[in-house]
Amino acid sequence: MLEVQDLGIRFGGLHAVRDVTATIPAGHITAIIGPNGAGKSTFFNLISGFYKPTSGRIRFQGEDITRLRTHEVVSRGIARTFQTTTIYKELSVLDNAMIGHRVRTRAGLLDALLRTGRERRDEEESRAGALRALERVGLAAQAGRPAGALTQEGQKRVGIAMALSSDPKLLLLDEPAAGMNPEETVNLMALIRELVSGGLTVALVEHKMSLVMGLADGIVVLHHGQKIAQGTPGEVSRDPAVIEAYLGGHAHGGQMGQTITATTTGAPRA
Ligand SMILES: Nc1ncnc2c1ncn2[C@@H]1O[C@H](COP(=O)(O)OP(=O)(O)OP(=O)(O)O)[C@@H](O)[C@H]1O
């Protein structure tokens, strides 16, 4: 569904993503993993059109989208969530999902908040998209409640509905399980699986290896901005370069190091 070739971006002297060639197959869940600072969020920002690459190509369903603007990328069928999705807690769940639709399509956030003429013309379309999205994340019954009254998990679902409201073909989730407890994480995994069995393709950046290993069909591993491995969870967790990246001199330890160790050698946490 999505192919990147020799993708790269520099920030001054720093090559945050470098010569990455990878694929995100349709109907799959692809995880992008790597130690802190590996370039995962930057990679997401590139494929969602937030950053323009300094080298390489991005093709989505056969079309070159490398130079498209963010809303043009969205209109092709790619939407994303953010590490910390802004939820308007005092607004209803439906209004949040509608804002999600509008900021991702034609009207900007300011239009959405100020209710300009252009925004009003989009309103009915937004409402329909938002309601469909709330159905998909199991929040239709909560549409009228203030978003701030929902649980942490419910608020995460609102964030996902905000992205789904533009009816994407590819959904990019940036650390969806951040701040969630194990039970909420399991529920989130079930939701992602359900969305994929409904025809969506998902790519996610995630630190929680239990989620990645239990959910992903394929994993792309980045390290210092470069792809060091792509394969199934089993292949990647046995890959010496991946083990070295997590446990070597640059590892940050924590959950990723711990789980990679456990799934590969069974050795105690480094
Ligand atoms: N807009 C930017 N300007 C300058 N440097 C940036 C910018 N965005 C990211 N970087 C740098 O690029 C590198 C990769 O950062 P990125 O956030 O993509 O890593 P990450 O793998 O998502 O990290 P984490 O796991 O900590 O979220 C880091 O060194 C970071 O400081």
Residue 264: what pLDDT?
38
- With 70 as the cut, is the pLDDT of residue 257 above it? no
* Of the candidate ranges 110-124, 159-173, 207-221, the one whose mean pLDDT is the lowest: 110-124
Name which of 171, 173, 163 is nearest 201 in CA terms.
171
- Answer yes or no: is pLDDT of 232 > 50: yes
Q: Tell whether ligand 1 has an atom less than 6 A from the beta carbon of residue 36.
A: yes
Is the CB of 40 within 6 Å of ligand 1? Answer: yes
Q: Are 75 and 60 in contact (CB under 8 A)?
A: no
Residue 265 has pLDDT above 60, yes or no: no
Find the 33 Cα to ligand 1 centroid distance in Å: 13
Phi, psi of 204 (to 5 degrees): -140, 150
| CA-175 nearest atom, ligand 1 | 27
Q: Maximum CA pair distance of the chain?
A: 62
| H/E stretch holding 23 | strand 14-24
pLDDT band at 1 (very low <50, low <70, confident <90, very high): very high
Ligand 1 mean position, distance from CA 7 (Å): 15
Q: Which atom of ligand 1 is found nearest the CA of 207?
A: 25
CA-to-CA distance for 46 and 51, rounded, in angstroms? 5
pTM of the predicted model, to two decimals?
0.85
Arithmetic mean of pLDDT over the chain: 85
Ligand 1 centre to CA of 41 (Å) is: 7
State if residue 39 touches ligand 1 by the CB under 6 angstroms criterion: yes
Atom of ligand 1 at shortest range from CA of 11 = 4
Residue with tokens 């991702």: 104
Determine the pLDDT at residue 64.
97
Paired tokens of 108: 């900007």
Using a 6 Å cutoff on CB, does residue 84 contact ligand 1? no
User: Is 37 close to ligand 1, i.e. is its CB under 6 Å away?
Assistant: yes
